[in-house]
Amino acid sequence: MHPPLSHATAVEVLRLADSDEPAVRALLARYGLSLQRIESGAIPGSFWGDEEAGIIGHTVYARGDTPLHSLLHEAGHLIVLPAERRSAVHTDATDSIEEEDATCYLQIVLADELPGVGRARLMSDMDAWGYSFRLGSTRAWFEQDAENARQWLIERQLLNTEGQLRQPLLIAES
């Protein structure tokens, strides 16, 4: 669902530099993750390259120009993984369609936790970036076609039955 597109021309999306970075760090810390800001050059652990976020172990890597949706997506990959699998992650978190769907759903819910972001803006940014969903938009997928992803997250106690984030149990780093 995440596009392998090169964004040579700037796409108007929220970027890490536009966000409340302490709030982003605090959100990741709730799940035992950290944010490593890269000032320039290649982003370690980035699957797509360019300005896309990367993941290695319990760390999300990003530059100021990294889209916030990318950062939340990669963090979501780590959040949905059992703690014992996180430390082995380098660049590519999963081949599971179910985990990928859950990650897309979770990144949207996580956006509500960040001041000035929220799910509506994040879904708009995902569409602008080129995420592809069979119903034509991120919002249509989220509202009409993502029950399997929502249920997957509920079963793993990441969301409550109303689809809201549950307070995570702090996960000790390995």
d(CA 69, CA 11): 12
The number of CA neighbours under 13 Å toward the Cβ of 121 is: 19
95 band by pLDDT with thresholds 50, 70 and 90: confident
DSSP 21-37: HHHHHHHHHTTT-EEEE
Residue 68 CA, chain-centre distance (Å), reads 8
Domain boundaries, the chain: 16-155
For residues 1-5, give the mean pLDDT: 45
> Which pair of structure tokens corresponds to residue 66?
């990294």
Return the minimum-mean-pLDDT range out of 25-29, 42-46, 54-58: 42-46
pTM for this entry: 0.89
SS3 of residue 56 by DSSP = strand
93 band by pLDDT with thresholds 50, 70 and 90: confident
